Structure 1
Amino acid sequence: MSNKKLLHSQEFAIRWGDMDAYGHLNNTSYFLYVQEARFELLRAYNLDYSASADNAPILLDTSFNFKKQVTYPETILIETYLVNVDRKKVYMEQIMKSANDLDVIYGTCTSLIMWYDFKNKVTVLPPEAIHHL
């Protein structure tokens, strides 16, 4: 698989408490919002990520390319794309936009995710469902 595919979109109202001293969204909060969007994607597709699961996704690598400051009040839209599945590795991209003006892009996040067998402490193939999203 090598074509980027939109899997999920999620809106979030920015919280005033996530602002920094300069009046814009604290850079660590960008990561929290994209993390929340990734977990909403797992829920939407009924992919188990609970502590009781035999294996679950883990984040191996992530980066965020900041393009524009987010200021309060704002509602953001995070689009989550599946970019590629390469054996055990799942590559995702997320685009953070203004929900009120979709031409405003606040940034993009790339992530490398793998599934992990917590009992045996090894990476495993992702669920077959990942290949069919």
Structure 2
Amino acid sequence: MSDTPRTLLHTTSFPVRWGDMDAYAHVNNTVYFRYCEQARVEWVEALGFPVHSEAGQGPVIINAACTFLVPITYPATVIVKLYAGDPGRSSVMTWYEILVEGDDRIFAEGSAKVVWMDHETGRSVPIPDELRHTLVA
């Protein structure tokens, strides 16, 4: 991860599913994005912001990246750590570390730019104050 100031916001874990693997017998690269998504959704919903279009406003991803460092294989329990930097008016950079329970290595590092959006207009809106207070690094 870069040297940008960041705050650890959420840590979650869940089992690797057999279907997460691909023909190379390791977790498919696309699934790592799902792991980060799950951590992000858990964090936002734990703060009281439902993540669905009927909510009126909520987070959307405008950019995502992942660096795959060590293959993850089944069976395993994945640990995802979610970090964020200082927020802008309507967006915040988030970073992810993906680990495997019982192993000290970082298996993948990711990032995603999250924008708070009005679902009806499709335009960005200011990050709610309650959420903003949790983001200050």
More deviation, 72-81/49-58: 49-58
What is the alpha-carbon distance in structure 2 between the residues aligned to residue 109 and residue 84 of structure 1?
Answer: 17
What is the alpha-carbon distance in structure 2 between the residues aligned to residue 120 and residue 50 of structure 1?
Answer: 15
1:88 matched to which residue of 2? 90
What is the alpha-carbon distance in structure 1 between the residues aligned to residue 27 and residue 56 of structure 2?
Answer: 36
Fraction of identical pairs, as percent: 31
CA RMSD of aligned residues (A): 1.3
- 8 Å contact kept, 2:9–2:83: yes
Q: Which amino acid aligns with 2:113?
A: L
1:50 deviates by 2.4
Aligned-partner SS, 1:52: helix
**Structure with greater strand share of residues:** 1
TM-score by length of structure 2 reads 0.89
The answer on 1:128 being equivalent to 2:117 is no
1:36 matched to which residue of 2? 38
- 8 Å contact kept, 1:81–1:94: yes
Q: Report the number of matched residues.
A: 131
- 8 Å contact kept, 2:57–2:117: yes
What is the alpha-carbon distance in structure 2 between the residues aligned to residue 121 and residue 20 of structure 1?
Answer: 35
Unpaired runs of 5+ residues, structure 2, are: none
Unpaired runs of 5+ residues, structure 1, are: none
1:86-133 deviations in Å (ceiling 9; x for gaps): 2222110010011222x2111111110111112223111111122211
2:108 matched to which residue of 1? 107
TM-score by length of structure 1 reads 0.92
1:5-24 aligned within 5 A: 5-24=7-26
What is the alpha-carbon distance in structure 1 between the residues aligned to residue 45 and residue 102 of structure 2?
Answer: 25
1:24 deviates by 0.5
1:39 deviates by 0.6
What is the alpha-carbon distance in structure 2 between the residues aligned to residue 48 and residue 18 of structure 1?
Answer: 26
**Deviation >6 Å, runs of 4+:** none
What is the alpha-carbon distance in structure 2 between the residues aligned to residue 81 and residue 12 of structure 1?
Answer: 18
Aligned-partner SS, 2:73: coil
1:77 matched to which residue of 2? 79
What is the alpha-carbon distance in structure 2 between the residues aligned to residue 121 and residue 43 of structure 1?
Answer: 21
